[in-house]
A and B are shown apart, each in its own frame.
Chain A
């Protein structure tokens, strides 16, 4: 039984902990008897040749399944582990597709029955309660899955769906769909933010709780992932729940689908008219003055800030009198290390650069997977602009000096964060 040695994998121990949790909850849940029955039935089901994979993977699958059987079937964990070999295979065979690492809760539910698991893995699935015959069973499953408040979640999901299908929601003049952003787009980005890049957010309190502010950010990473992550950072971490309205390049608004999503997420074209209008309305506007120069710079020049345009962002901040919040993003530079640039392909496709990374385009779509670097987003001390007279925006010297000040602040913060960073990936 070499399998037993594999058990202390983090994931598996979590599975067992989760199992313990679900056992505790079982006392209150009316339908867990049925669940237990199903789980007991599980190990006995003969599934021939369920797992033909590598031994290590098989071992992990078995271990997970034993944890599950032990939890739901009310057998002790040790017993289940001991009986590992044969039943675990059937468990592994049954639960393929249960690939998300959401610990024991999802696993416990999946052991309850194929139909329940297949339908109920996604908590927001509005179809779930539509099968009344399974109602009670599903209620139990959903209770475990979503921690008891599932009715409310499903109901609010339905209310959301109702508003969407009838068109009964508001967008602002820039096409920002606050509801869609909060409920859907941010939820899609959050796993990337929390689990993949493990973004550490510092100094979020430097963004004022009300009134306009201009967040100026360094730009890197070949694809504008850093802007999206900064948006999630402000959305999820700011105490006043502010929304970062990003200014994006015109290329974004030329691409089908991308332009639609960008507008709905609250982005708009990087031009002084739009920026000024947003700032006058008291929005937090995010701008990356480096633009494509920063985004598509070679890997060898990482963390070297490029020229900050003509300082148009400073002039806009001066005109509207909003503070400038410098923002430094560490970690985005390494997600797609750009070791080359195919100018010919870029010209053919009409894009500013065509990145060649160690994986792209050699591995095809797989090359689009970013490297899981560890990110830090630091918002610096705001630079006030309301102390200058209104005509200051026309003063090129002042605009250049302020631009340099912002640029230097971001560059120094980047160096500080880099010195403090232990490794690119941790």
Chain B
């Protein structure tokens, strides 16, 4: 039997490129067809690159021609590659998904569909539960931006799943993807020398490492292992939570709290200056934060991320170099303060239990 034929969309992006290189090493995969409207700058290994715009009906021909059985739709993204900006990104996300799903519906060979989504479909509001599970009813749907695209994409995917019940559909809702090579809007935000934050809010953030994204995509693309089910909707995030204030301190970057009404204005200014793309959705994330429940990912999908949220972030921080207030230097300042203490206190500060006892007795 010939191995599977996997079609991956959006391969001009780093993450999809890595997945293409990884998935072709799997024994059960025969061929990998990599599709994007722009030729990728990175190497795709032995995959066949087909230059096609998924917004055009051409994609249907490609599916039929290569008798593709697994479609991995990764061309759902917040930022457009190259020119076009937000309108272009929205078209690729929504119209592209519609075309691709229409083509899949007509292609009898397709047996599995994996779609990249985001946890921002839950929105982010003070009225929401602190931890979203896959079934939590959402109080305020995202009103625009990438989050709304993702909600619409998921809607089309659900429709497709109804019309083609024979196709196994997996929707992976990724938390903020970070890692040494991340190029997401949030990574751009963390690259600012001084982090603007919203005054009086300290959002909870969750991250997922690039390597884990690759790993979980692989789990969803290949045959399900025994005792697991890899179709359905899953939240994908690393363990644990970091507060925005913690991330700033770990990066060693000072924060500037901005009064909430002024934030939108500041975001617009930064966007005009071309520093970073501060979308409304990102401001909401940085105001209220978002945490998802990952029990389904562990128990049903059978995937355990290698990196926790904190480990993902420290990996990201290492790749970015020190900020203006590196944590080790700040810690050094505190240590110098501790150094002028009498010896008994210093021993207590070092945390040696024996000496601590001595300090108590003295």
A300 to chain B, nearest CB (A): 32
* B348 and A130 within 8 A (CB): no
In the assembled complex, the Cα of A168 lies from the Cα of B293 at a distance in Å of: 23
* A151 and B362 within 8 A (CB): yes
Binary flags per residue of B323-353, CB closer than 8 Å to A gives 1, else 0? 0000110110011011011101110110100
Contact of A171 among B128, B204, B260, B338 (CB under 8 A): B204
Chain A residue at minimum C-beta to C-beta distance from B249 = A167
* A271 and B291 within 8 A (CB): no
* B293 and A277 within 8 A (CB): yes
- Residues of chain B in range 223-249 having any CB-CB distance to chain A below 8 Å: 240-243, 245-249
Binary flags per residue of A146-166, CB closer than 8 Å to B gives 1, else 0? 001101101110110110111
Residues of B within 8 A of A425 (CB): none
Contact of A167 among B246, B288, B360 (CB under 8 A): B246
* B131 and A260 within 8 A (CB): no
B258 to chain A, nearest CB (A): 11
* B200 and A158 within 8 A (CB): no
B356 interfacial by beta-carbon distance below 8 Å: yes
In the assembled complex, the Cα of A190 lies from the Cα of B153 at a distance in Å of: 52
* B129 and A273 within 8 A (CB): yes
* A256 and B130 within 8 A (CB): no
B201 interfacial by beta-carbon distance below 8 Å: yes
Contact of A271 among B129, B133, B247 (CB under 8 A): B129
B286 to chain A, nearest CB (A): 13
* A152 and B204 within 8 A (CB): no
* B130 and A274 within 8 A (CB): yes
Chain A residue at minimum C-beta to C-beta distance from B327 = A166
Q: Beyond A165-B330, A256-B260, is A273–B133 a contact (Cβ under 8 Å)?
A: yes
Residues of B within 8 A of A162 (CB): 331, 334-335, 338
* A159 and B349 within 8 A (CB): yes
B347 to chain A, nearest CB (A): 8
Binary flags per residue of B114-136, CB closer than 8 Å to A gives 1, else 0? 00000000000011111101001
B306 interfacial by beta-carbon distance below 8 Å: no
A268 interfacial by beta-carbon distance below 8 Å: yes
A311 interfacial by beta-carbon distance below 8 Å: no
* B202 and A155 within 8 A (CB): no
* A173 and B348 within 8 A (CB): no
A192 to chain B, nearest CB (A): 22
- Residues of chain A in range 129-150 having any CB-CB distance to chain B below 8 Å: 129-130, 132, 135, 139, 148-149
The total of interchain contacts (Cβ-Cβ below 8 angstroms) comes to 138
B192 interfacial by beta-carbon distance below 8 Å: no
* B341 and A155 within 8 A (CB): yes
B21 interfacial by beta-carbon distance below 8 Å: no
A16 interfacial by beta-carbon distance below 8 Å: no
Residues of B within 8 A of A258 (CB): 200
Residues of A within 8 A of B243 (CB): 171, 175, 177
Interface size on B, residues (CB 8 A): 50
Residues of A within 8 A of B293 (CB): 277
A269 interfacial by beta-carbon distance below 8 Å: yes
Residues of A within 8 A of B345 (CB): 129, 151-152, 154-155
Residues of B within 8 A of A255 (CB): 200
B119 to chain A, nearest CB (A): 13
Most buried by B among A126, A155, A159, A172: A155
* B246 and A171 within 8 A (CB): yes
Q: Beyond A165-B331, A256-B201, A256-B260, is A268–B130 a contact (Cβ under 8 Å)?
A: yes
Main secondary structure of the interface of A (DSSP, over half): helix
Q: Beyond A156-B349, A166-B331, is A250–B127 a contact (Cβ under 8 Å)?
A: yes
B359 interfacial by beta-carbon distance below 8 Å: yes
A149 to chain B, nearest CB (A): 6
In the assembled complex, the Cα of A268 lies from the Cα of B338 at a distance in Å of: 37
In the assembled complex, the Cα of A149 lies from the Cα of B204 at a distance in Å of: 37
Chain B residue at minimum C-beta to C-beta distance from A161 = B334
A259 interfacial by beta-carbon distance below 8 Å: yes
Residues of A within 8 A of B359 (CB): 149, 151-152, 155
In the assembled complex, the Cα of A268 lies from the Cα of B291 at a distance in Å of: 13
* B129 and A274 within 8 A (CB): yes
B250 interfacial by beta-carbon distance below 8 Å: yes
A232 to chain B, nearest CB (A): 22
A263 interfacial by beta-carbon distance below 8 Å: yes
Residues of A within 8 A of B260 (CB): 256
Chain A residue at minimum C-beta to C-beta distance from B239 = A173
B193 to chain A, nearest CB (A): 17
In the assembled complex, the Cα of A273 lies from the Cα of B132 at a distance in Å of: 9
In the assembled complex, the Cα of A250 lies from the Cα of B331 at a distance in Å of: 37
* B131 and A269 within 8 A (CB): no
* A170 and B348 within 8 A (CB): no
Sampled A-B contacts (29; CB under 8 Å): A129-B337, A129-B341, A129-B342, A130-B340, A132-B340, A135-B342, A139-B342, A149-B359, A152-B356, A154-B345, A158-B337, A158-B341, A161-B334, A162-B338, A169-B246, A171-B204, A171-B242, A173-B204, A173-B240, A173-B241, A173-B291, A175-B130, A253-B288, A256-B260, A260-B201, A263-B202, A271-B129, A274-B129, A274-B131
- Nearest 6 CB-CB pairings of A with B: A256-B200, A167-B249, A151-B345, A257-B200, A155-B349, A253-B126
A interface residues, Cβ below 8 angstroms from B: 126, 129-130, 132, 135, 139, 148-149, 151-152, 154-156, 158-159, 161-162, 164-175, 177, 250, 253-260, 263-264, 268-269, 271, 273-274, 277
Q: A129-B345, A155-B338, A271-B129 are in contact. List 18 more A-B contacts (CB 8 A).
A: A135-B340, A151-B341, A152-B344, A155-B346, A155-B349, A156-B348, A162-B331, A165-B327, A166-B327, A166-B331, A168-B250, A169-B246, A171-B241, A174-B131, A174-B204, A175-B204, A253-B126, A269-B130
